[in-house]
């Protein structure tokens, strides 16, 4: 017996859904049949397209509560309901924690922790009034699980997002399920900024047990599953998508020391 996920008739919002990881999430939701609305500070050069369908777009800075409310209003006006929220918008450049400005740190935490909590709150208000509730998926990061030098505030925010997800999954049950995707190293159109040229990307890929970086659609697959009836008993969970994780450096050091 084959298993398929059909989200036809479901309405999804994906923050930052026009590029990078968000684009892969949007594409997979469209392929599964969902109606999708994406938001971002500016419109993508070309909207994601999958199964001959494209999402609606609303310009919004997710750090601004009034703009978040405008996205929620647009989704309910267009589709009449909200079944799925994927809090994907986020990120941070590399900085020196010893010299970075407090204002910069505040912005990183606002984008990666406060914004998804606020967006989830507004989506929950709609979902609680629906007979079948809804699903919220927060995109976290392995940076919240292990040291994150150069992106300390980002790692702290992502750790906080995992914690908030667990708490809100209890507060908003049984109508609304909340889960996290804890993403590892991902190859997006900006991968070169983090990993260098193709040779650099290949070297980084070789450190992952499964031998490659994740693709945005890998994250999308997880979001489709967590948003579907197949995950109806999954809430407060953190799904690690990291290809097996990052082997501890001491293993290579010990091998080199022993001549293995």
Residues 175-231 have pLDDT tens digits of: 999 999 999 988 877 666 567 778 888 888 988 999 999 999 999 999 999 999 999
Question: What local confidence, expressed as pLDDT, does residue 61 receive?
Answer: 98
- Tell me the backbone φ, ψ of residue 71, rounded to 5 degrees: -65, -45
Sign of CA dihedral 242, 244, 248, 254: negative
73-107 core/surface letters (b: 16 or more CB in 10 A; e: else): ebbeeebebbbbbbbbbbebeebeeeeeeeeebee
- How far apart are the C-alpha atoms of 230 and 246, rounded to whole Å? 29
Eight-state DSSP code of residue 63: T
147, with CB counted inside 10 A (0-12, 13-18, 19+), is: exposed
Eight-state DSSP code of residue 45: S
Query: Which has the higher per-residue pLDDT, 255 or 23?
Result: 23
Structure tokens at 65: 């509560």
Q: What are the catalytic residues?
A: 154
pTM: 0.94
Residue 230 CB partners (closer than 8 Å, separation 6+): 3, 5
- Judged against a pLDDT cut of 80, whether residue 121 lies above it is answered with yes
* Mean pLDDT across 89-106: 96
- How far apart are the C-alpha atoms of 128 and 134, rounded to whole Å? 8
The count of other CB atoms within 10 Å of the CB of residue 65 is 14
- Judged against a pLDDT cut of 70, whether residue 101 lies above it is answered with yes
CA–CA distance from 47 to each of 23, 56, 138, 188 (Å)?
A: 9, 9, 22, 16
Fold that domain 11-258 belongs to in CATH:
Rossmann fold (3.40.50)
Task: Name the average pLDDT for the chain.
Answer: 94
């Amino acid at each position: 017996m084959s298993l398929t996920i059909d989200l036809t008739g479901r309405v999804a919002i994906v923050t930052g859904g026009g590029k990078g990881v968000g684009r892969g999430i949007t594409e997979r939701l469209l392929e599964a049949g969902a109606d999708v609305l994406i938001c971002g500070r500016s419109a993508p050069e070309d909207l994601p397209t999958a199964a001959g369908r494209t999402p609606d777009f609303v310009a919004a800075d997710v750090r601004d509560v009034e703009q978040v409310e405008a996205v929620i209003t647009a989704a309910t006006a267009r589709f009449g309901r909200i079944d799925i929220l994927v809090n994907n918008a986020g990120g941070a450049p590399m900085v020196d924690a010893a010299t970075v400005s407090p204002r910069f740190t505040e912005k990183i935490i606002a984008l990666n922790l406060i914004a998804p909590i606020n967006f989830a709150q507004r989506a929950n208000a709609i979902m609680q009034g629906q007979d079948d509730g809804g699903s919220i998926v927060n995109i976290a990061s392995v940076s919240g699980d292990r040291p994150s030098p150069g992106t300390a505030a980002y790692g702290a925010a992502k750790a906080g997002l995992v914690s908030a997800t667990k708490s809100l999954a209890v507060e908003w049950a049984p109508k609304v399920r909340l889960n996290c995707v804890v993403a590892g190293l991902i190859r997006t159109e900006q991968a070169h900024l983090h990993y260098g040229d193709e040779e650099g990307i290949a070297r980084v890929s070789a450190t992952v047990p499964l031998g490659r970086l994740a693709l945005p659609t890998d994250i999308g697959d997880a979001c489709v599953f967590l948003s579907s009836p197949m995950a109806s008993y999954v809430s407060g969970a953190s799904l690690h998508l990291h290809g097996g994780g990052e082997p501890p450096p001491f293993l290579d050091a010990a091998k080199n020391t022993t001549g293995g």
